Chains A and B, each alone.
Chain A
Amino acid sequence: MTMTTGKPRRLHIPDFASQHVGLLSVVLVIGVFLAISTDAFATGPNIINILRQVSVMAVLAAGLTMLLGAGGLDFSLGSQVAVVVAVAAQLISAEVPVGIAIVIVLILGLLMGLINGLIITIFGVAPFVVTLASATLLDGAALVIMNGQSVSIGSALSELGTGTFLGIPYLLIIAIVACVFVGVVLKWTRFGRDTLAIGGNSMAARLTGIPVRSRTLSLYAMNGLFAAIAGVMLLSRLGASSPGTGGLHLELSVVAAVVIGGTALHGGSATVFGTALGVILLGMVANGLNLLQISSFYQPVSVGLVLMVAAIVNELRHRRKR
């Protein structure tokens, strides 16, 4: 494919990874640093623990990666998670069978995403505004549903939250499936390619006969579904729904992970591999601060710093391309 560049290739890096050399090396450097400076970091249980913790974020970030690729945005994913967690907890504590409760919240997630999408496509309101409004609304709704108090579900979902398959946590398996799913959709399906075409130039996409509106709608609905899956995963890990679970705080970490991964906010390109690295990087930093016994107050500080550096690096990289 690169017959025109004269440079001989010494090392073959797969295409999807070659654009992430920078981020990969940052992850490796931090990993090595933590492995040397702490005893606990480079142990199997700790690694598994990190991955389990970032699984929820990974599912959300995978969906958001696709949405950003289409030039969309959803600030309400974390709040949708909050609502899903609250509803699922109430249902399960009211002795609704777990399976039915899960189906109900998955449908609920789909609906929440669909409503966002409908408002954005029908009224043409900027996604930023629509989803910021729905984020605030849903955060409040979650508190109303929980009546402001924690709702415990006992051990109803603990198998999902703590169980493993061949040593791999179920949660991590779900996250990997979600990321692979998004990666495959983006690269090998018409839906995925249409997504990037819409993000690249929605007018040209429309004139090419791509159903821009229904694609956009599907993307928001898909993100709602992913938020519901993430919500169930989060509930299974926590065992209870409490005020402040999910919400804008979770959302911002998710957006940060996607941006750190190199997906541009203006649409037209998206990389779920980068997003996965972004999620892992944030998880490692949080874990590292913990192990180094640095106050947890520094965690948002570090997330903000990493995000800012990543944004600057991405901008510089784009500028060089131009």
Chain B
Amino acid sequence: MVPDPSTLSQPSSEASEQRPVLSLRGIQKSFGGPLALADVNFDVRSGRIHALLGMNGAGKSTLVQIISGSLPATSGEIVLNGAPFRTMTPRRARSAGVATVFQRRTLVGSLTVAENILMGELPVRAGFVDWREAHSLAGNALAAIRAEIDPRQTVNKLGAAHQTLVEIAREIRKGASLLMLDEPTAALGAVDARIVHDVVRGLAADGVAIIYISHHLDEVFELADDVTVLRDGHVVLDVPVASIDLKELVRAMVGEDVRSERRPRNNAVGEVRLELDDISAAGEIDGFSVAVRAGEIVAVLGPAGAAQESLFPILSGLSSPASGVIEVAGETLKQGSVRAALRAGVRCISVDRMGYGLIPGLSVAENITALEQAIARKAFVSWRAISLRARELREQFNVVSLHDNPAIESLSGGNQQKVLLGKLLANDHVVACLLEEPTGGVDISAKAEIHRYVEDLASRGVAVLLASSDVDEVLRLADRIVVVRGTAQVAECVATETTREELVAMVLGGQE
């Protein structure tokens, strides 16, 4: 409970503009393990756009949840417009003027803009919805944030930027002195982002205090007045944007160079086994080209939502891109065919293990042998063969479980991932492999094992493509790194010749 020196220095009778709308005093949060947030202090003032930055897992989202009352802080105090709160609840936050637009949309797409803005409080006259009144109320709410959107429009028909504006209008309408925006432009292109920026600037000019979470650093320099950087739950930087440059900002975010051990690999790379040439798919990826040699690990690194995420559907054959050629071992791959991709020896592992990889209801043994069984195309199933092969694979990939052959759902994330790797990568037909965030949602020890399997895979002569938003993992595993941002391929470098800072700056988009 150390009083903030800046507030002490102000006479309390000063205009409210001088008093912060939000003061965080010693906020701590622990989920049982190490502190997710440790002694977080900072102020957000009226009319200022306050950027909140940090790498994945730095604690930004946790902090937003605590301020909005959806998570209780372990200790500390939240002061809103001068009123201190030890325990915050969503209701208290709401009535104290805190509005939050979460990263995940909360709109009902099939309803109109007006219905979404007035959700739960549609005006009613004599038991019937008063549509004239509803549209005028919603129109006012939209006008208040200077958004030109027809309240009669169905939300699904709006572009992504305008959907974000509808959410902002809904929140502001409830009365907000503090608006928190969690990556409002993460999935938007430059033009769409500008639409959102204009609205945010306008709100700040109206005196709303704004907390703006972003991964785009150029956006921060363009938009924000103040910036707070979180790293591992600590505030490491809290300054006006004008007093800092890109380099300092990146250094604050990534911290000291704690590069994890790169194991020296025998990089005997061979022929090109996987080549993507000028791949484009509308709105997802634009003119993407990469060639991966046998034994090589090439990472496609980009922020969440960027082009690396469209590689999985394209390479696995789930969808065919609008244009471009894929060559596997020198032969053109028939696009849009899962079976052609499998037959050519392409194996794709999605970050969404349960959605795109494993089959609930079937046992571990059946899951881990599923691909081999499907390829073998035998009419009858030999349970003996499956259980023997499954045992082999489970040993090879070190799948640990309490029971002998449990349901796949009961395994931990790391073990599920190992089952998926075993299913797809065990046999000899693998020519090229795409791994999408291979250690997402996986504990540390499983992570190390999975890294080893990926390296083994490369040393077996497989061309490995890694789609990732994790800078450290990319530096740990990759030989070459292709950086993407939005839909575009922006840079390429050799892993050993780049630094973490350079890479982060490239991914997050500094003008360097």
Q: Which residues of A come within 8 Å of B, CB atoms?
A: 1-4, 187-194, 196-197, 199-201, 203-211, 267-269
Contacts and interface: CB of A to CB of B under 8 A. Distances in A.
Contact of B338 (A191, A197, A201, A206): A206
Contacts of B85: none
A4 B374 contact: no
12 contacts: A188-B383, A189-B380, A190-B373, A190-B374, A197-B359, A199-B361, A200-B362, A201-B360, A208-B371, A209-B338, A268-B359, A268-B360
A178 B369 CA distance: 29
A201 B339 contact: no
A204 B373 contact: no
A60 to B, nearest CB: 24
Max chain A Cβ within 10 angstroms of own Cβ: one of B361, B377, B380: B361
B499 interface: no
B381 interface: yes
A248 to B, nearest CB: 29
Most B CB within 10 A of own CB, among A187, A203, A207: A207
A200 B316 CA distance: 20
Interface residues of B, number: 32
Given A204-B357, A207-B356, A1 B405 contact: yes
B361 A268 contact: yes
B125 interface: no
Contacts of B506: none
Interface of B: 316, 318, 338-339, 342, 348, 354-362, 366, 370-371, 373-375, 377-381, 383, 402-405, 423
Nearest to B423: A208
A188 B370 CA distance: 14
B336 to A, nearest CB: 12
Contacts of B374: 190, 194, 208-210
A188 B380 contact: yes
Nearest to A199: B361
B358 A204 contact: yes
Contact of A203 (B355, B381, B423): B355
A201 B354 contact: yes
B370 A208 contact: yes
A1 B391 CA distance: 13
Contact of B359 (A1, A4, A204, A211): A204
Contacts of A207: 316, 318, 338, 348, 356-357
Given A4-B402, A204-B357, A208-B370, A197 B362 contact: yes
B404 A1 contact: yes
A190 B359 contact: no
Contacts of B380: 188-190
B404 A3 contact: yes
Nearest to B410: A321
A102 to B, nearest CB: 27
B385 to A, nearest CB: 12
Given A193-B373, A209-B374, A201 B404 contact: no
A311 B399 CA distance: 35
Contacts of A199: 361
Contacts of B339: 209, 211
A190 B369 CA distance: 12
B346 to A, nearest CB: 11
B370 A197 contact: yes
A209 B358 contact: no
A196 B361 contact: yes
Given A190-B374, A207-B316, A211-B339, 18 more contacts: A188-B383, A190-B373, A190-B378, A190-B379, A197-B359, A197-B362, A199-B361, A200-B361, A200-B362, A204-B358, A205-B359, A206-B318, A207-B318, A207-B356, A208-B359, A209-B342, A209-B371, A268-B359
B470 to A, nearest CB: 23
A196 B354 CA distance: 15
Given A206-B338, A207-B316, A4 B404 contact: yes
Contacts of B377: 190
A26 to B, nearest CB: 25
B511 to A, nearest CB: 40
A201 B355 contact: yes
B183 to A, nearest CB: 27
Given A193-B373, A209-B339, A203 B362 contact: no
B248 to A, nearest CB: 45
B424 to A, nearest CB: 9
**Which of B338, B359, B371 has the largest number of chain A CB atoms within 10 A?**
B359
Contacts of B316: 207
A18 to B, nearest CB: 16
